[in-house]
């Protein structure tokens, strides 16, 4: 399995870098996980977007789906051979209006996923866990059918203990790490310390911190996360980062 980071900021793009978006590949299958602002341009540097097999959206905040509309236009207007006649976009149905936007006649088809059952998608088996966020959002666990490698993406969430079991023994964990360790009060994203603790408690192999803040030292954020993660390697998301596992 290979992960390529296409965007990593939370909230809004910054200094030419996109918000949340990741390309997950195995055995020639191309899955776009979230499609935030600026992600389409980043994706075009890696593959032709017409070669996508599917898109999966963890939730419908704009920093995770803003570029879906222009991706649909790309599929509608761009000349070239498409891998599939229509682009399949997976999303949850707990927000009917946004789910409906996944459909575009003759361009894209929206299909529902559910926390209640695994999604069988190409070389992957994908399960979901509802997170703690102001809108319905779902962490995703993507497991390779070939070798059982595990990739977990927390999506956007406040820290809660259910993430430990969901992330257990992951080969790669990507966490929503939007705040420094000193952040207090009601927050809807994890702190550096919480991300590191989650990685350690879940006994993961590697941790990538993402959904990063624009106005906090990212070096400091990574140091704080590493301190909480102990011996587990902590990697800071950056555009173009590729991890094969």
**Residue ranges making up the domain that contains 45:** 2-244
The number of C-alpha atoms within 13 Å of 145 and in the hemisphere containing its C-beta is 12
Mean pLDDT to the nearest integer, 136-144: 98
Residues forming beta bridges with residue 174, ordered by sequence position: 153, 208
Q: Identify the CATH number of the domain in which residue 159 sits.
A: 3.60.15.10
Report DSSP state, residue 194: H
pLDDT digit string (tens) for 98-121?
A: 999 999 999 999 999 999 999 999
Question: Would you state the pLDDT for residue 231?
Answer: 98
Total structural domains in the chain? 1
234 close to 196: Cβ distance less than 8 angstroms = yes
Q: Which residues have a Cβ under 8 Å from the Cβ of 194 and sit 6 or more positions away? A: 159, 228
What's the gap between Cα 115 and its chain centre?
16
pLDDT digit string (tens) for 5-35?
A: 999 999 999 999 999 999 999 999 999 999 9
Report DSSP state, residue 28: T
3-state DSSP: the chain helix, strand, coil percent, rounded to 5?
20, 35, 45
222 close to 236: Cβ distance less than 8 angstroms = yes
Residues forming beta bridges with residue 206, ordered by sequence position: 233
Of 9, 20, 26, residue with least CA distance to 43: 20
pLDDT digit string (tens) for 45-73?
A: 999 999 999 999 999 999 999 999 999 99
Crossing angle of helices 218-229 and 192-201, in 10° steps, is: 30
């Amino acid at each position: 399995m290979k992960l390529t980071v296409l965007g990593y900021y939370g909230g809004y793009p910054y200094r030419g870098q996109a918000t949340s978006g990741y390309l997950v590949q195995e055995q020639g299958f191309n899955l776009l996980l979230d499609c935030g602002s600026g992600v389409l341009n980043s994706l075009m540097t890696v593959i032709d977007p017409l070669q996508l097999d599917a898109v999966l959206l963890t939730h419908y905040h704009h920093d995770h789906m803003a570029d879906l509309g222009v991706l649909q236009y790309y599929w509608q207007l761009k000349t070239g051979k498409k891998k599939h006649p229509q682009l399949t976009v997976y999303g949850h149905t707990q927000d009917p209006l946004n789910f409906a936007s996944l459909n575009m006649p003759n361009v894209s088809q929206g299909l529902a996923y559910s926390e209640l059952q695994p999604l069988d998608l190409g070389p992957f088996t994908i399960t979901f866990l509802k997170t703690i966020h102001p809108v319905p959002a779902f962490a995703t666990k993507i497991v390779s059918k070939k070798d059982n490698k595990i990739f977990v993406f927390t999506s956007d969430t406040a820290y809660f203990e259910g993430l430990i079991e969901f992330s257990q023994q992951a080969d790669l964990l990507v966490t929503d790490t939007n705040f420094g360790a000193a952040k207090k009060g009601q927050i809807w994203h994890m702190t550096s310390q919480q991300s590191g603790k989650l990685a350690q408690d879940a006994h993961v192999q590697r941790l990538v911190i993402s959904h990063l803040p624009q106005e906090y030292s990212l070096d400091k954020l990574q140091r704080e996360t590493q301190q909480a993660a102990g011996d587990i390697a902590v990697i800071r998301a950056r555009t173009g980062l590729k991890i094969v596992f």
